[in-house]
Structure 1
Amino acid sequence: MKKLIFLTVFAMSVNVFSQDTIIPLWPKDKIPNHVVSDEKEEHVIEDILRISKVQEPTIEVYLPSKKNATGQAMVIFPGGGYRILAYDWEGVDIAKFLNSKGIAGIVVKYRLPSVVSQTNQEDVPLIDAQRALRLVRSKAEAFNIDPNKIGAMGFSAGGHLASTLGTHFDEKVYTPIDEADKLSARPDFLTLCYPVITFNQSSTHKGSQNNLLGNNPKPGAVERFSNEKQVSANTPPTFLLHATDDTSVPVENSLVFYKALVENNVPAALHVFPTGGHGFALGLQDPYLRTWPELLFGWMESLK
């Protein structure tokens, strides 16, 4: 009997103090722009977890202890060129690191554009991004976060998606389905790490552009998703991070977004490291590059 009581109490404690929860973004039969098909989600684990062909998008929630919580949260969009999601490298690992600073980390497994399982596939990542921000905001009390301190963070193509959310948060791209969709999708701040920003330029990451818009984009699509052209005074304060020697997504992407922010009087911080290449995530292998999270935390503390 004592053993049974111990096991019951232990199980309850694990349930109460579990730090991660996976929540569907949408009710299964109400996923916008979804087409029933034979396409299946794929998970490949090598040095990192790569997820492709996402069919049922989710958020995975990592929370700090209540005693350490700052009330801030970061909704995280992993990169992967709109072809795959570098899910742990630029998602789960980042969320856990944020937890160490008292910040909630919410990783979004968003849908990647597909001509097989979606209609108007260029809108689908933004649809999931808006929903993710709204859903997190709707659960602020349950997550022990401030609904006015929720940021969006993205890496590479995930940075493009986060910057799209930051410049298209009030664009109607899906029909509301519940109370969460009545809330604002505007992030309170943005963190863009070696982001794809601009399309149809010499500095464009062609893979991201082609995967999102196709080889023959619809009229106006290139302009619409060149996010430096969509910045306004209502774009959230933004922290930008890049490496000068990034040959995949040139640093000019961050520079043009920073310039647009300054021109619109949006508070912005830009940190360009001399080396690091592309896709360095936390940059833990480099003693200089790995200092960037501390710059981010200091900037977050400065936000009003």
Structure 2
Amino acid sequence: MIRWHLCAAALALTASLPAAAQEQPLLFAPATAPHLEGEIILPTPQATNTPPESWLRQTGDLQVRNVQQATLLPFLPPRNLATGEAVLVAPGGGFLGLAIQDEGYDVARALAARGIAAFVLKYRVLATPADFGKFMREMVAGRSGKPTTLHVPEDTPDFSLEDARAALAYVRAHGDDWGIDKMRVGMMGFSAGAFLTLTAALKLPANERPAFIAPIYPRMTARDVPADAPAMFVAIADDDFLMAPGTLGLIESWHKAHRPVEFHLFQSGHHGFGLGVPGTTTAGWLDDFVRWLDLNRVKR
């Protein structure tokens, strides 16, 4: 099943998908903001010139757009399972919104069940029309190749990176409260969240970078990678539009820098598979990540 997140897959890159997929309806509906007990407000500025925060559902899964204030939501493991590691989880959405349930809350719960403290980052994104009807018309227009005001940025917005930087610092500063090893705070991101994860790993000062990263279905183009870049775990499906022929530059960049990298290319699963698509090998990727993390913990 192709999932239509608020992302490039639903906009400019739709033309690369089969005609039958393009004809599927956009199953978005307005939703009430959930009550999130324990949510932490990060010390970054509120969004300016942005419509009010708006929640919606896509085939039942919660998403959010026009994020006003960056927050963290902790998902802590049982004490008897805790490894001492933490992962900042950044949902995707093309920096136009966040697929915060299936690429955030669901992933964080699964990590916590495996002993890893997880923190879902609700980061600031680009503004979209306040009116839900207008927002939907713009989404449909972009999906059909018509003019639209919704455009996926070429690079990580500065305010999104600022939120990730603050989140990493907050988790480290309060690590003792949660039984977290401050030297083992990593970051995992999906689609645009993967882009944010890579930007944090490559652009932040060395002492502020995540200790390890897991970009899941990221943009696979080459990067300038420093000699002290974090170890990286990558997962993507071969039928993802970001896996065009010759796009293994990201992996090659880590190789050239002589940095640890593990790469999982799944036969199928499309873009936006979240915790995995039943009936495909993507369904087991999180356990692969945990095994990789366990091995790297032993080596350090």
Task: Give the TM-score band, short-chain normalised.
Answer: 0.7 to 0.9
Paired residues of 1:60 and 1:108 also in contact (CA < 8 A): yes
Aligned to 2:45: 31
Aligned to 1:127: 162
1:228-267 pair list within 5 angstroms: 228-247=222-241, 249-250=242-243, 255-267=248-260
Pair 265,131 (structure 1): closer, same or farther in 2 beyond 3 Å = same
Distance in 1 between residues matched to 2:113 and 2:237, nearest whole Å:
25
Paired residues of 1:73 and 1:105 also in contact (CA < 8 A): yes
Q: 1:235-269: per-residue Cα shift (whole Å, max 9, x none)?
A: 1000010111112x226697211100010011000
Aligned to 1:52: 65
Q: 1:187-225: per-residue Cα shift (whole Å, max 9, x none)?
A: 110001101254xxxxxxxxxxxxxxxxxxxxxxxxxxx
Which secondary structure does the structure 1 equivalent of 2:208 belong to? coil
**2:101 matched to 1:94?**
no
1:270-285 pair list within 5 angstroms: 270-285=263-278
Q: CA RMSD in A?
A: 2.4
Pair 115,188 (structure 1): closer, same or farther in 2 beyond 3 Å = same
Q: 1:42-100: per-residue Cα shift (whole Å, max 9, x none)?
A: 10023211110101110000001111100011100000111110001100000000011
Distance in 2 between residues matched to 1:122 and 1:133, nearest whole Å:
17
Deviation (angstroms), 1:233: 1.0
Pair 147,158 (structure 1): closer, same or farther in 2 beyond 3 Å = same
TM-score, reference length from structure 2: 0.73
For structure 1, the residue ranges without an aligned partner over 5 or more in a row are: 1-18, 172-183, 199-227
**2:122 matched to 1:109?**
yes
The residue identity in structure 2 corresponding to 1:295 is D
**2:53 matched to 1:41?**
yes
The residue identity in structure 1 corresponding to 2:56 is V
Which secondary structure does the structure 2 equivalent of 1:240 belong to? strand
Aligned to 1:189: 212
TM-score, reference length from structure 1: 0.72
Paired residues of 1:242 and 1:251 also in contact (CA < 8 A): no
Deviation (angstroms), 1:276: 0.7
If asked which structure has higher relative contact order (CA below 8 Å, sep 6+), I would say 2
Pick from 181, 201, 205 the counterpart of residue 166 of structure 1.
Answer: 201
Aligned to 2:187: 152
- Structure showing greater radius of gyration is 1
The residue identity in structure 1 corresponding to 2:45 is I
The residue identity in structure 2 corresponding to 1:70 is T
Distance in 1 between residues matched to 2:203 and 2:65, nearest whole Å:
24
Aligned to 1:5: none
